[in-house]
Amino acid sequence: METFAFYFLAISITILFTITVWSKNILNAMTALAAGMILISGLFFILRADFLGVVQLIVYVGAVMALYAFGMMFFDATGTVKEKNRPNFTVLLLGVLTAVLLVGIFTAPTLINGVPSFYPEMAGATNPQAVGLVLFTKYLVPFEVAAIMLLVAMIAGIILAGKKMDNSISRMSEEELKAQLEKDSK
């Protein structure tokens, strides 16, 4: 049953992501991407990683796709996109080689077996509880530093999208700068 579910999910995800790449309609591409993201959470559930499955749903389907959708609202999403891709042999060759190399490297660990598990499944603990135990003991520091990273990202976003970036002090001459300061103080 698990095998069937895995192959079903794997094939569907591949098809959906192929649509995402090849489709010329933004709306179709985005819907396929969202559907693929939902199905990936299925893979986590098969592996009994419930917590990660739910995170996948919330973060990728809920947050990232919603962000994309909001972004798309600024553009006309109904028409097809005209792509200017000329056939280029070098790019094709390098792209295919890179893809083959990456797939090769990623499947290489399956050559060996019996990898020890540092955090085995605990008796009597559900998956989120087990994740929580590791996250708030061993990985407490990375967890907190990730919070700092989000703070940095938030500050960065607010500054770079802020109104103060409209006029560049770096380019204003002294006279322009004085005029600007007087205008601000009024």
Partner 1 sequence: MLQAVNVSMASLNLTTLSPMLVAVGGALLILIIDLLKKDMTKSLYVMLSVLILFVDFGAVLSLSINERGLFDLMLIDGISIVSQLIILLASMLFIPLALTQKRFHEYAYPEYFALFLFMVAGFQFMVATDNLILIFIGLETASLALYTMIAMHNTRGSHEAAIKYFTMGAMAAGFYVMGSAVIYGISGTVELSEVSKILLERMSEAGIALPIIGASILLLVAIGFKVSLMPFHMWTPDVYEGSSAPMAGYMSIVPKLAMMVVAIRVLSFYIDIGMEPVRYMVIALAVVTMTFANIMALVQFDVKRMLAYSSISHAGFVMAALALDTTKAYSGIFLYYGLFLFTNLGAFTMLWITRHKQKKYHSRFHHPYEKFAGLIHSAPMGAVIMAIFMLSLTGVPPFSLFWGKMYIISATVDAGYIWLAVIMALNSAIAAYYYLKLVVYMFLKPKPEGVEAIGVNSSRPLIVIVGIAAAVTTFSVFLMEPMLSYINYMVSVSGY
- Contacts with partner 1 by CB under 8 A lie at 101-102, 104-106, 108-109, 111-112, 115-118, 122, 124-125, 129, 133, 137-142, 145-146, 148-149, 151-153, 155-156, 159-160, 164-165, 168-174, 177
Kindly state the smallest distance separating residue 82's Cβ from partner 1, in Å: 23
Between 3 and 168, whose beta carbon lies closer to partner 1? 168
Between 81 and 133, whose beta carbon lies closer to partner 1? 133
Q: How far, in Å, CA of 130 to CA of 144, rounded?
A: 19
Kindly state the smallest distance separating residue 152's Cβ from partner 1, in Å: 5
Helix H or strand E encompassing 8: helix 2-22
> How does 83-122 read in b/e, with b if 16+ C-beta sit within 10 Å?
eeeeeeeeeeeeeeeeeeeeeeeeeeeeeeeeeeeeeeee
Kindly state the smallest distance separating residue 138's Cβ from partner 1, in Å: 5
Q: How far, in Å, CA of 126 to CA of 50, rounded?
A: 9
CA dihedral 75, 79, 80, 81 (to 10 degrees): -30
Between 84 and 171, whose beta carbon lies closer to partner 1? 171
Kindly state the smallest distance separating residue 1's Cβ from partner 1, in Å: 25
Between 27 and 134, whose beta carbon lies closer to partner 1? 134
Between 24 and 138, whose beta carbon lies closer to partner 1? 138
Kindly state the smallest distance separating residue 106's Cβ from partner 1, in Å: 7
DSSP per-residue letters across 61-96: IIIIHHHHHHHHTTS--SSBPPP-----HHHHHHHH
